[in-house]
């Protein structure tokens, strides 16, 4: 900060101390704080300011920006709501409010706010990317991809390409993702999303060598990202290195504790190691996250069978199949029960139903590999 700016700030602070309700002075001072990166000082000063200053939309906007800069998203949201109540027509105000909501994982509210500024998105270009990310979290992948493509029609940058690559992967378009994100190290490591996309796409296409190299480098660059560790675990499993897979899954669940699929992967890995009590714990953790997911009950049922609790297994199979009549883990558990009961023919018939499903044949589904590695019905 220059001496001139420092002197100006000191002078304005003195004036405001003498006239604490002077909104014009407050606006000038907080603008100076923000322009010079004095975010904490701005927060400390204006949290204790008079109500006249706190309610001013321009002061609230700059204070919200200071909260954003320091990662205090709830407080930022409160500030932007004050400004938005007065100036809902301003795209920048709407965007900042929506961005705070996005950071707080309030994806539906962020989506709704961002949708109101679509016609003026070029004034705040990142609004399209944040909207796409909201839709990604909400499972609306096709529309998310459309918004990223709209952004890329005007701007060409690595962040948008990485997001598009990740959307393509989650849509099962792995070859298109790889084509978009060059195998050149500088390209796929350019952003976190491109690193995840390239790693995930190469795994889905069973290019273990490329996947291993890419994922290792991605983890070195982004060591605290659960999805990358989950990818590493899948590579470890494909190499039949279950001990290393369990270490990778430990990191995956540490950094991504709310991802049901990773708990499922941990559960199946533990089943393959005959560590059934721990496998049950993993599936129960997934159940805590979402009690209406069929694959969770199917996994629990498989553990029940291995623990010789056939009646419990049947109960959990019924729950799984009630949620999804084609639930692969549920059907697999059902086949194991029939096999334990001595009905081999019925067990094989159920497994034929499993292996004929498109979702079972999907390149991203690890369950065929797991089931081929387990004892019992093939």
Residue 322 within any structural domain of the chain: yes
Q: How many CB atoms lie within 10 A of CB 274?
A: 10
Residue 331 within any structural domain of the chain: yes
Q: How far apart, in whole angstroms, are the C-alpha atoms of residue 283 and residue 274?
A: 15
- Report pLDDT for 378: 47
Token code pair at residue 106: 């309030």
What domain count does the chain have?
Answer: 1
pLDDT values of the chain reduced to their tens digit, one per residue, 378 residues: 676 778 888 998 888 888 988 999 899 999 999 999 999 999 999 988 888 888 999 999 999 999 999 999 999 999 999 999 999 999 999 999 999 999 999 999 999 999 999 999 999 999 999 999 999 999 999 999 999 999 999 998 899 999 999 999 999 999 999 999 876 667 889 999 999 999 999 998 888 899 999 999 999 999 999 999 999 998 998 888 999 999 999 999 999 999 999 999 999 999 999 999 999 999 999 999 999 999 999 999 999 999 999 999 999 999 999 999 999 999 999 999 999 999 999 999 998 888 887 766 664 556 665 655 555 554
Rg (CA), the chain: 26
Structural domain span for residue 348: 292-378
Residue 338 within any structural domain of the chain: yes
Instruction: Report helix, strand or coil for 21.
Output: coil
Residue 300 within any structural domain of the chain: yes
Tell me, what CATH number does 328's domain have? Answer: 1.25.40
Report yes or no: 255 and 265 within 8 Å, Cβ to Cβ. no
Residue 351 within any structural domain of the chain: yes
Q: Which of 160, 194, 191, 192 is nearest to 177 (CA)?
A: 194
CA distances from residue 205 to 40, 168, 176, 190, 212 in whole angstroms, order as listed: 48, 13, 12, 22, 12
User: Residue 220: which region, alpha, beta or left (left: phi > 0; alpha: psi -120 to 50)?
Assistant: alpha
Residue 326 within any structural domain of the chain: yes
Token code pair at residue 335: 């086949």
Residue 108 within any structural domain of the chain: no
> Which residue has 């494909």 as its token pair?
238
Q: How far apart, in whole angstroms, are the C-alpha atoms of residue 104 and residue 71?
A: 10
Token code pair at residue 206: 């069973």
Report yes or no: 208 and 214 within 8 Å, Cβ to Cβ. no
Q: Where are the alpha helices (DSSP H) in 55-138?
A: 57-69, 73-86, 91-103, 107-115, 126-137
**What is the DSSP code (8-state) at residue 2?**
-
**What is the DSSP code (8-state) at residue 50?**
-
pTM: 0.81
- Report pLDDT for 31: 93
Q: How far apart, in whole angstroms, are the C-alpha atoms of residue 28 and residue 42?
A: 12
Q: Which of 370, 279, 286, 277 is nearest to 328 (CA)?
A: 370
CA 203 to the chain's CA centroid: 19
Q: How far apart, in whole angstroms, are the C-alpha atoms of residue 307 and residue 301?
A: 10
Residue 97 within any structural domain of the chain: no
- Report pLDDT for 35: 92
- Report pLDDT for 206: 84
Q: How far apart, in whole angstroms, are the C-alpha atoms of residue 302 and residue 194?
A: 36
């Amino acid at each position: 900060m220059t001496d001139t700016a420092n002197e100006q700030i000191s002078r304005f602070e003195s004036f405001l101390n003498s006239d604490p309700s002077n909104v014009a002075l407050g606006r000038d001072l907080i603008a100076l704080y923000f322009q010079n990166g004095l975010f904490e000082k701005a927060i400390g000063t204006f949290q204790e300011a008079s109500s006249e200053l706190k309610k001013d939309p321009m002061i609230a906007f700059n204070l919200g920006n200071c909260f954003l800069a320091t990662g205090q998203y709830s407080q930022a949201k409160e500030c932007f709501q004050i400004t938005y109540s007065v100036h809902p027509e301003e795209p920048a105000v709407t965007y900042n409010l929506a961005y705070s909501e996005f950071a707080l994982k309030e994806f539906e509210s962020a989506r709704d706010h961002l949708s109101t500024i679509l016609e003026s998105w070029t004034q705040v270009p990142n609004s399209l990317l944040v909207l796409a990310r909201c839709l990604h979290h909400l499972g609306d992948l096709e529309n998310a991809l459309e918004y990223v493509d709209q952004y890329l029609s005007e701007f060409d940058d690595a962040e948008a390409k990485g997001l598009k690559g990740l959307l393509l992967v989650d849509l099962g378009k792995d070859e298109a993702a790889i084509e978009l994100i060059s195998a050149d190290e500088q390209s796929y490591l350019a952003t976190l999303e491109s690193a995840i996309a390239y790693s995930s796409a190469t795994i889905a296409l069973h290019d273990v060598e490329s996947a291993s190299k890419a994922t290792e480098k991605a983890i070195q660059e982004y060591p605290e990202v659960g999805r990358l560790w989950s990818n590493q675990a899948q590579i470890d499993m494909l190499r039949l290195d279950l001990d290393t897979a369990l270490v990778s899954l430990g990191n995956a669940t540490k950094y991504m504790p709310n991802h049901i699929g990773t708990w499922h992967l941990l559960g199946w890995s533990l089943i393959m190691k005959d560590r059934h009590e721990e496998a049950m714990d993993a599936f129960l953790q997934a159940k805590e996250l979402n009690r209406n997911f069929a694959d969770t009950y199917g996994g629990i049922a498989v553990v029940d069978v291995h623990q010789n609790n056939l009646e419990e297994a049947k109960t959990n199979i019924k729950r799984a199949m009630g949620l999804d009549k084609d639930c692969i883990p549920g059907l697999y558990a059902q086949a194991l029960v029939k096999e334990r009961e001595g009905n081999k023919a019925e067990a094989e018939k159920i497994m034929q139903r499993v292996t004929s499903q498109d979702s079972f044949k999907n390149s991203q589904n690890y369950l065929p590999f797991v089931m081929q590695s387990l004892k019992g019905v093939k």
